[in-house]
Amino acid sequence: MKKCFFFIFVCIFIGREITVAQPLQQSSAATQKWWKEAVVYQIYPRSFKDSNGDGIGDLKGIISKLDYIKSLGVDVVWLNPIYQSPNFDNGYDVSDYKKILPEFGTMADFDSLLQGMHRRGIKLVMDLVVNHSSSEHEWFKQSRSSRTNPYRDYYHWWNAENGKPPYRFSLFDINHDAWKYDTTTNAYYLHYFSDKQPDLNWENPKVRNEVYNIMRFWANKGIDGFRLDAFQFVAKDTTFPQFPKRFEKNFMHYYAMQGNLHGYLQQMNQQIFSKYDVMSVAEGAGNTFEDAHNLVDSNRHELNIAYAFNGVDIAKPNGYSLLQFKTVFSQWDSAFEHSGWLAVFLANHDQARMVSRFGNDAPAFRTHSSQMLSTFLLTMRGTPFYYNGDELGMSNPHFTSISDYRDEVILDAYKHTKQTGGNINVFMKNLAFGARDNGRTPFQWNSSTNAGFTTGTPWIGINANYTTVNAAVEENDPNSCLNYFRKLVQLRKNNPTLVYGKYTLLDKDNTQVYAYLREDAHGKFLVVLNFSDKNAEFNNPILMKQAKLLLANYTTNATISLTKILVLRPYEAMVIQL
């Protein structure tokens, strides 16, 4: 990694600022693929649209909004889990991978959803949650019933007569202890997430075959891709060696990308991905660029798209540094310039709202700053993974009471903070900024009761700003976030240079402005983004003689000056053709 880092450092900070007049070569990363050109729209089914008044979004609800989704211009929908589940973790605890959660509908509903999407030219990517199952999955029920049950080694067990198992970290357990003692068989089972999400034993070939079966079932239905949940953690050393003292909690270092992970992915590719025209993306991309490349370089026959958290992790309650933001995104772009492919995202169902974390959700700035962030996402190299509601500029709801939250992991953490005498005020402030429930409030369709999401009581509160921030109002406003997002999607569609073209960071030390070039043999674009709430100057090294403003988020015309300095208004975004 060190070597690689040094190389990238040199490229970004020394060489790449200058636009060199040499022919732009097609890199291998530029091999055209539909999943590179796609804009992925992530739908959180529980919060998108409720069709039957029980306060919970469902498949029929999504079906009723397919024309809206089509109107965005997006090509792919990624749906969070919709399988049978006790719902401890909103579907990320699956108890039957081939059944639909009744709250969401039936298999017939699913079939018509898929049909409706395909009729409109929209592809569907499903979430595959197989690092763990629910503790209520039949496999686990069998597994825990006796030590000799045929399903015993579908999970990881440690017999208690061998003493306490070597420490393993759990992300969701309050005490961060990943071993749970089970009296029935006097043994501990492993759970990297909650104790209701026991880890599947990927070292067991039967488990892998079960998973391929499940994948075949959905692929045969005609779905177009898989998002592999928490997949970087599936492989384990089943001798469970002791990790170095005091470092046992270094989760990414000791738990990600272990053992035969790549062997499993190659097998999955051979069994499934190579047989269907599906795209594949795994959550998490390890610790290094090398790790990420090992997942997605096409000659390795594993996955298509790396989904790394380094960008989205930058936002902190007390703000973030734009210089760091630029560095991270530039380094990742540079590391993937010649092979492999990345997802570009600033939000998902595990994050608070993009505009609240990276922009500014004060009424005066919400629209411009969320449009500016969308401009970034849609003009970077990589496949944009765009989270539902961000096209409206939906923001954090600013919940103030713990009773507003629904995420069990948060509720557990709250109890724990209370019990251990932690600072509740700080805890609540951090939640309001970063809790994942912030990104899960119902989609704001219109100004009627409950934002048109449900006729019943929504499962989680609706952002009070829904009377002004909603799809119906924004539909009729040519300058809304919604209509701006549509223009951005079209701009990307019409200009493959924005998908494949070389990226060059400009004016890198500018603490307010993020500016970059995208160019290839077919075109050249300058993207200028003011990330601050003040006017900002961009020190422009580019000849602007034939510049044409393609898209901007201010209604009064931006002037593209022919001089070196470009003055931008707060959160102003421009895409300029050169």
- Residues near Ca ion, by CB under 5 A: 50, 52, 54, 56, 58
As measured in angstroms, the least distance from the Cβ of 92 to Ca ion is 19
Q: Which two tokens stand for residue 414?
A: 């709250």
Q: Could you tell me which of 116, 120, 186 has the C-alpha nearest to residue 157?
A: 186
As measured in angstroms, the least distance from the Cβ of 183 to ligand GLC is 25
283 is catalytic: yes
The smaller minimum CB distance to Ca ion, of residues 109 and 297, is found at 109
Q: Are 515 and 506 in contact (CB under 8 A)?
A: yes
328: buried, middle or exposed (CB in 10 Å: 19+, 13-18, 0-12)? Answer: middle
The smaller minimum CB distance to ligand GLC, of residues 103 and 507, is found at 103
Residue nearest to Ca ion (CB): 58
As measured in angstroms, the least distance from the Cβ of 102 to Ca ion is 10
As measured in angstroms, the least distance from the Cβ of 335 to ligand GLC is 23
Distance CA(537)–CA(141), nearest Å, equals 62
Residue nearest to ligand GLC (CB): 92
The smaller minimum CB distance to Ca ion, of residues 54 and 96, is found at 54
Distance CA(327)–CA(374), nearest Å, equals 19
The greatest distance separating any two alpha carbons of the chain, rounded to the nearest whole angstrom, comes to 78
Task: Say which entry of Ca ion, ligand GLC, none residue 229 contacts (CB below 5 to 8 A, set by partner kind).
Answer: ligand GLC
Task: Say which entry of Ca ion, ligand GLC, none residue 291 contacts (CB below 5 to 8 A, set by partner kind).
Answer: none
Q: Which two tokens stand for residue 253?
A: 């270092």
As measured in angstroms, the least distance from the Cβ of 229 to ligand GLC is 5
Task: Say which entry of Ca ion, ligand GLC, none residue 203 contacts (CB below 5 to 8 A, set by partner kind).
Answer: none
The length of the chain is: 578
As measured in angstroms, the least distance from the Cβ of 263 to ligand GLC is 22
Distance CA(357)–CA(351), nearest Å, equals 9
Q: Which residue has the tokens 């006729």?
A: 455
Distance CA(408)–CA(134), nearest Å, equals 15
Task: Write down the catalytic residue from 50, 283, 337, 361.
Answer: 283
Distance CA(414)–CA(434), nearest Å, equals 14
84 forms beta bridges with 96
576 forms beta bridges with 526, 549
Task: Say which entry of Ca ion, ligand GLC, none residue 56 contacts (CB below 5 to 8 A, set by partner kind).
Answer: Ca ion
The neighbour count for residue 248, using CB atoms within 10 Å, is: 16
Using alpha carbons only, give the angle 114, 120, 124 rounded to the nearest 5 degrees. Answer: 40
Q: Name the percent of the chain in helix, strand, coil, to the closest 5.
A: 40, 15, 45
As measured in angstroms, the least distance from the Cβ of 411 to ligand GLC is 14
Task: Say which entry of Ca ion, ligand GLC, none residue 50 contacts (CB below 5 to 8 A, set by partner kind).
Answer: Ca ion
Distance CA(160)–CA(455), nearest Å, equals 51
Task: Say which entry of ligand GLC, Ca ion, none residue 92 contacts (CB below 5 to 8 A, set by partner kind).
Answer: ligand GLC
The smaller minimum CB distance to ligand GLC, of residues 90 and 530, is found at 90
Q: Which two tokens stand for residue 29?
A: 């990363």
Distance CA(264)–CA(271), nearest Å, equals 10
The smaller minimum CB distance to ligand GLC, of residues 111 and 350, is found at 350
Task: Say which entry of ligand GLC, Ca ion, none residue 97 contacts (CB below 5 to 8 A, set by partner kind).
Answer: none
Residues that bind ligand GLC (CB under 6 A): 89, 92, 129, 193, 229-230, 283, 349-350
Residues sharing a CB contact under 8 Å with residue 47, sequence separation 6 or more, in sequence order: 57, 388, 440, 441, 442, 443, 453, 459, 460
Using alpha carbons only, give the angle 285, 193, 168 rounded to the nearest 5 degrees. Answer: 85
As measured in angstroms, the least distance from the Cβ of 193 to ligand GLC is 5
- Identity of residue 32: Q
As measured in angstroms, the least distance from the Cβ of 348 to ligand GLC is 7
Task: Tell me the helices (H) and strands (E) count for the chain, helix number first.
Answer: 18, 20
229 is catalytic: yes
**What ranges in 85-241 are assigned the alpha helix state H?**
107-119, 138-145, 205-221
- 3-class state of residue 457 by DSSP: coil
The neighbour count for residue 107, using CB atoms within 10 Å, is: 12
Q: Which residue has the tokens 């223009």?
A: 487
Task: Write down the catalytic residue from 229, 361, 437, 474.
Answer: 229
Q: Which two tokens stand for residue 331?
A: 């380094």
The smaller minimum CB distance to ligand GLC, of residues 129 and 462, is found at 129
The smaller minimum CB distance to Ca ion, of residues 25 and 457, is found at 457
Q: What is the DSSP letter of 170?
A: -
Q: What is the DSSP letter of 474?
A: H
Distance CA(366)–CA(370), nearest Å, equals 6
As measured in angstroms, the least distance from the Cβ of 85 to Ca ion is 15
Task: Say which entry of Ca ion, ligand GLC, none residue 230 contacts (CB below 5 to 8 A, set by partner kind).
Answer: ligand GLC
Q: Are 531 and 372 in contact (CB under 8 A)?
A: yes
Residues with active-site annotation:
229, 283
